[in-house]
Structure 1
Amino acid sequence: MPPTSGIPPTDLEDLWERLGRIERRVRHAVALRRDTDPQPDDPFRGQYLTPAAAERILDSRDAFLPVPVPASAQGPGATPDSPAGGRIAALAERFGLVEPDVDLLLVAMAPDIDARFERLYGYLNDDLTRRRATIDLALELCGLPAAGSGRFRFSPSAPLVAAGLVEVLEADRPLLSRVLRVPDRVTAHLLGDDEVDGRLHGLVRVAGPEEEPEKAPAKAPEDGPDLCRTTLRVVAALGTGSGLVHLLDRGGDPGRLAADALLAAGLRPLVVDVAALATAPDPVRTAQILATEARLSGGGLVLGPLEALAPEQPKGAGVIEGLCEAVGGGSPLIMYGKKHWDPLWAAESPVTVHVLPPDPADAARRWHRELTAAGSSTGLAAGTAAAGARLTDATRAYRLDSGQIRRAAAVASRLAALESRPVEAQDLRTAVRAQNGAGLARLARRIEPTVGWDDLVLPPSTRHQLSDLALRARHREQVLGRWRMRPGGGRGRGIVALFAGESGTGKTMSAEVVAADLGMELYVVDLSSVVDKYIGETEKNLERIFVEASDVNAVLLFDEADAVFGKRSQVKDAQDRHANVESAYLLQRIESFDGIAVLTTNLRANLDEAFTRRLDVVADFPVPDAQQRLALWERCLGTEIPRASGLDLRTCADRFELTGGSIRACAVTAAYQAAESGRPLDTEQLVSAVLAEYRKLGRLVLDSEFGPWLERTRRGD
């Protein structure tokens, strides 16, 4: 055969040579089979099995015979029978099996271990196409009555079937003629394989000491007394009753805590992907497989956050109930979420444990460990990636779980490795922003801050209020979380600020500066996507925004907030009543918010007075004075635009009372005029831009303000 086009001849020659070797092996096997077959030319071969042929099968090789081991290779005190029954005994104990159940399981499993049993079972079934044990055959081989209690060992509630150890197939047939099958995972477990069931691929991951060594409390006493105390409480809860535990997330890391507790109890943590479970074709069947896997491996299940299952919906509640029922106390089940447990979710209520925010010192230690591990894997020198005091300060405002810290540390280390330098604070901030989900970006406009404190021109009092906002954001976990300085009333650990001042005084820019100082992104809420004419839809839209904002490290900005957070009025009609309902909802929701929110308004008097008590910081943005206006002119014009020698910015600052936003607009307009004229920017062009801004704002043009430039600009017009 000529070589195939595009394939080197040497590759084809190697392929043909290997296929030839396989063919020779097949020919040899056929020859051996014919030598031992008394009727090699039987035309009905394979369609029946004679008693003599059954005897020959029984006399052939035995897959169950152990490989002989020399006595010298056995350990002291070992006997040939010592390993027997180890896993079988453990399986019987975990699943509550009695001796007849074990015998029935082994009968059903035999064809999966030795292919001879396929033909033998076909012979005994009087049908070579049915090569697995039927219920009748299994009961016969185990000496159990088919017409008595034996058949009930394969009922849906029997241990073998309920636990998923044996599957009863062909439900349309009579009970005794139904075929039995043992899942591959059960067979593999008894043969010594501890890999997770292949049917759970992409649904479960094993969190063990080799993945995150610091998770085991016994090996990490530096995690802090509070964390160890909470972990031990969860361990104690696992040993009571059904082992069902609910971790109520109050800003901590419940997923990590659940793995801690299972490891401390000597169990294998099986972390379930909630999104994959919710979209499984048959969640009830998947829950059964999860429960079987947990029992087989001697582990416990970790499920969360429960909000991803939408437990308030029948389907989500059904998944939770199905998993709780499938586990049935056979193995621990730890579920976590931010919502309180609803008794309607399952027949049995769990033990609830509150998970508080981690101590800042514990978070710093985790950053140090993860950065050190990530640095070694990316090739950074030892200690290069370790988190020092400056890096600890850079991450103080973030709320991250252990998985997010691990991923952020890996990204930061890779960014530093690209330039062969130590990890810097900016690397951590970039890596943390990469952990923010895209959910909030679909509801608000995302801005990556590009300004800093030096770009602000504000009175000292306003700058102090902005600094106070950043300070609160950095230390809120310690003050509100660990010290519990905001107890009771369902109050969250959020920070809410109000920026009040005229348009153009720098409110939005200040929010961007605060976000940049905290290393976060700024999300500006588009009120047009929030306010809805239909009753109740505005509250739903705001709720989605608040929920998404609570889970990201970002600053949420409500621009022109008085449009949503307005005063409640006297009820005169149905429209007033529903408007008051919206305001009342916002009063409650803003108080339970766990993120960082900034409200801006041009008219502070339009806000409901009840919001004032719920605000942490109120910053007033006055119209800039002459000195501040001069600084604004200098910053807005920058250093790149050519300036005429007679450009008089001092006079412009003294004469024209403009806000920062208007000064920036005037600077841009003047720059366009200078570009068109081809000469450096002069005072006349600047005043012409101011005049255009006055007209745009509808302000009076007075001779006392413009002086001699007014007539010049008019002649220019």
Structure 2
Amino acid sequence: MSSGPDALLARLDALRDRVAGLVERRSGDDPTAGDPLRGLYLTAESALRIAHQGQGEGRGEGPGGVPSALEESVEGGGHLPDSFHELALRFSLTSLDQHILLAALAPDVDRRFEPLYGYLNDDVGRRRATMALALDLLGTGPHDPVARGRFHPLAPLRAGGLVQLDDEDRPLPGQALRVPERVVAWLLGDDAVDPELVGGGVELLPSDEGAVPVADGVAARLAAVAAAGPLLLHLRERREGTAAEPVADALRAAGLPVLLYRPALADVPGGGDVPGRTGESEQAAALRTRTCTALLREARLRGAALLVGPLSAEPGALVRQLATGDVPVVFFGGDAYDPGWAPDAGILALDAPQEQTDAPRAWRAGLGQDDDLGFDLPEAIAPYRLGEAQIRRAARAAVGLAAFEGTGLTAAHVQLSARQQSAPLLDRHARRIRPAVGFGDLVLPDEPLGLLRELALRARHRDQVLGEWRLRTGGGRGRGVIALFAGDSGTGKTLSAEVVAGELGLDLYVVDLSAVVDKYIGETEKNLERIFAEADRTDSVLLFDEADAVFGKRSEVKSSHDRYANLESAYLLQRLEAFDGIAVLTTNLRANIDDAFTRRLDLVVDFPFPDVEQRVALWHTCLAGTPRAADIGDEITRCAKDFELAGGAIRSAAVTAGYLAAGHGGPVSGADVRAGARREYRKMGRLEPGVSLPWR
């Protein structure tokens, strides 16, 4: 046997000799053989000839004495190139299949076959081999049930995507055979990814046999099984990429290329699972089928494993089409595996464990710097829960960002790139705040200030304390950090949540309860589940402002409304137990929060109403960036004593003073400060100091 394009061309030369012999036999007694318009019309004489043709005529075993190619293929003659034999092993092709494939691809490699096939098809416009012509060249025909069966949709040639049938409105013998360009290119030695898959959510991850394989854990075990034989697996991930990417790395280290297919990135119109039942259009179903066929064909050609996910809400059709049993396939997603997706596939379903990643080592490797970075790397990356592949991408982005700004690498570059790798999709139900404040902007007593620092500390070290030290109790409890901020309006609860998020290098998402609470039964829980699930998956701080609206006390059931309200509270209690993120609840009325929620809180921070000294500090903090008159300090002290304002009200008063100063074109004066304080008192409906009520 021989290999390469030259061997294929030599085999095609032999095939062309057979085609020439068949042309000679057919033209020997064809009265229209010399007609220049032959194939454009059918004369009565030609019709009579076809009608009286004997059963054995027109085939390889007919009068002509040419030996049967079918006999050659079955009995060991007619050697095909190595690429055909390799293809036969990967797609379970018989020798007959290989010769059919050779006849079908001939016009794609040697255009001299086109006019010959046109003549033999009695139609100059049909220049590809038909099913009947391919079998004629092999010395058999459509009457042979064995040969005919090689064109069944479930037979290897068609099921593997090696041969396609055109002209489906014609009878099967007259349907033309087409070989996809990817198969032709592979047989000729071209190893580029199938053009049908490029840009369709498919990425080729080449094998990396030189890499150090994962030493232990589920990824290493699954890679070893997949390398030994086909594996069908579904991994349920708690966070996207935490299991799939390590499995991909382990498969590649074991010597298997990996085709990563993300269905969400594919251009598939419509949705659903079954056409006509769940909303998937016929166009979408056909496109999905073509994609699955091309994926499996590419995996077989490369000897690769498939990594498919995250799966959509209804992935049954996709799973059934890809779970063939002869290609290693790992499905992954956040939903539990449903046996109804592929009942007969024998898919192994596992909950992906949270394997520990040596994050500092991975970051240093990605940044390409082992020496001192100038900042505390473990401290900067502690709040982020990224897989190794995500860390590599984030590290590249951080290096690129520093180069773009023309500065050295800083903790801010690292944290920004890490946030981008886990940016949550919460904009529908939450408002994002990019923290722009720090602990220096807070004016609080020592106790709540210390609790806020402890909250940041818990968020940084939860994996070590709850994971490595195993201080987390059972019952499916997560590694989340949950705090309650309680205090009067304007005492700094929301600002403190922003400060904690900024200290951790995370974004703050304020949940819009008006978009969460729904009058329809069960919809509130669904909205909350979307928020919790997304917050679990990514790294951010979740803020439930006015939390008593959804975390309120359960009441005695006196009506159906009470019963469903209690169901919402019960759901939230269970969801907080399994929460893995960072959440802050704020309330003006701590007594309204159910005691069962309080037990599940890590910290409760009480925000007191500021005293005179704190109000003075708040005034100076709010006006720190403004031009101020020299004697403004005395007036600030008097206003702090005269006007009992919380921090939020003082900030509003300072803004009013700033506008008044801008209006008269001078610095902020004591009169501007007092005018702003009066304005806030009037807004609150309170009587100004020194002003008495008129007698009626």
TM-score between both structures, scaled by the size of structure 2: 0.80
Q: Are residues 1:205 and 2:203 paired? A: yes
The 8 Å contact of residues 397 and 417 in structure 2, kept in 1 or not, is answered as yes
Structure 1 pair 646–627 and aligned structure 2 pair: CA distance change class (3 A): closer
In the alignment, residue 368 of structure 1 is paired with which amino acid? R
SS at 1:440 equivalent: coil
- In structure 1, C-alpha distance between the alignment counterparts of 2:100 and 2:163, rounded to whole Å: 9
Distance 2:348 2:35 in 1: 68
Aligned residues: 603
User: In the alignment, which residue of structure 2 is the partner of 1:302?
Assistant: 307
Letter in 2 for 1:255: A
Task: Give per-residue Cα distances to partners, 1:545-591, cap 9 Å, x unaligned.
Answer: 22332333221111111111111111111211221122222222222
Contact 1:647 1:682 in 2 (8 A): no
1:232 aligned partner:
220
- Where does residue 77 of structure 1 map in the other structure? none
Distance in 1 (alpha carbons) for counterparts of 2:268 and 2:580? 29
- Deviation at residue 538 of structure 1 after TM alignment: 1.8
* 1:374-385 to 2 correspondences below 5 Å: none
* 2:8 alignment partner in structure 1: none
> Which residue is equivalent to 1:28?
none
**Matched AA of 1:207:** L
Q: Pick closer, same or farther for the CA change 1:86–1:262 going to 2, 3 Å.
A: farther
1:582 to 554, 568, 589: 568
2:62 corresponding residue in structure 1: none
User: Partners in 2 of 1:269 and 1:388 — Cα distance?
Assistant: 38
Classify 1:510/1:153 alpha carbon distance in 2 versus 1 (closer, same or farther; 3 Å).
same
After superposition, what is the alpha-carbon deviation per residue over 1:170-193, rounded to whole angstroms, capped at 9, x for unaligned?
A: 222222222212111111111111
Q: Please say if residues 241 and 329 of structure 1, whose CA atoms lie closer than 8 Å, have aligned partners that are also in contact.
A: no
Match of 2:234? 246
Gaps of 5+ in 2: 1-33, 42-78, 270-283
Between Structure 1 and Structure 2, the one with more helix by share is: 1
Equivalent residue, structure 1, for 2:60: none
Find the aligned partners of 1:538 and 1:132 in 2 and give their Cα distance: 60
Residues of 2 paired with 1:207 and 1:444: CA distance?
36
* Matched residue SS, 2:386: coil
| Inter-partner Cα distance in structure 1 for 2:364 and 2:197 | 34
Q: 1:260 aligns with which of 249, 258, 265?
A: 249
Residue type of the alignment partner of 1:44? P
* 2:155 alignment partner AA: A
State the shift of 1:435 in Å: 3.6
1:550 paired to 2:536:
yes
Which residue among 680, 684, 694 is the counterpart of 2:681? Answer: 694
Aligned match for 1:293, one of 298, 312, 329: 298
| 1:164/1:288 contact within 8 Å kept | yes
Tell me: CA distance 1:521–1:321, structure 2 relative to 1, closer, same or farther (3 Å). same
In structure 2, relative to structure 1, the CA distance for the partners of 1:174 and 1:562 (3 Å cut) is: same
Q: Is the 8 A contact 2:546 2:586 kept in 1?
A: yes
Q: Does 1:100 align with 2:96?
A: yes
In the alignment, is the contact (CA less than 8 A) between 2:573 and 2:597 conserved in 1? yes
CA distance 1:106–1:627, change in 2 (3 Å): same
SS at match of 1:341: coil
Aligned residue in 2 for 1:496 = 482
Q: After superposition, where does 1:443-522 map in structure 2 within 5 Å?
A: 443-522=429-508
Q: Per the alignment, do residues 173 and 84 of structure 1 end up closer, same or farther by CA in structure 2, a change over 3 Å counting?
A: closer
- Return the match for 2:263 from 237, 251, 274: 274
Matches within 5 A, 1:151-190: 151-190=148-187
Which moved further from structure 2: 502-511 or 587-596? 587-596
Q: Closer, same or farther in 2 for the Cα pair 1:631/1:197, shift >3 Å?
A: same
* Aligned counterpart in structure 2 of residue 593 of structure 1, from 579, 585, 597: 579
How many angstroms apart in 1 are the aligned matches of 2:205 and 2:159? 27
Q: Deviation string for 1:240-297 (max 9, x for gaps)?
A: 7751012222446223223223213322100112213472632122211211111111
Q: Is the 8 A contact 1:273 1:303 kept in 2?
A: yes
What is the Cα deviation at residue 403 of structure 1?
Answer: 4.5
8 Å Cα contact 1:94/1:330 also seen in 2 = no
Go from structure 1 to structure 2 and tell me whether the alpha carbon gap of 1:650 and 1:618 turns closer, same or farther (over 3 Å shift).
Answer: same
* Residue matched to 1:398: 384
CA 1:490–1:416: 2 relative to 1, 3 Å: same
- Percent identity reads 51
What is the match of residue 50 of structure 2? none
Deviation at 1:235, TM superposition (A): 1.6
- Residue type of the partner of 1:269? V
Worse-matched range after superposition: 192-201 or 416-425: 416-425
Change in Cα spacing, 1:232 to 1:192, as seen in structure 2 (3 Å) is same
After superposition, the Cα gap between the structure-2 partners of 1:356 and 1:363, relative to the gap in structure 1 and judged at 3 Å, is farther
Higher deviation after alignment, 121-130 or 596-605: 121-130
Which letter maps to 1:663? I
Q: Distance in 1 between matches of 2:664 and 2:100?
A: 97
**8 Å Cα contact 1:277-1:283 kept in structure 2:** no
Q: Is the 8 A contact 2:380 2:415 kept in 1?
A: yes
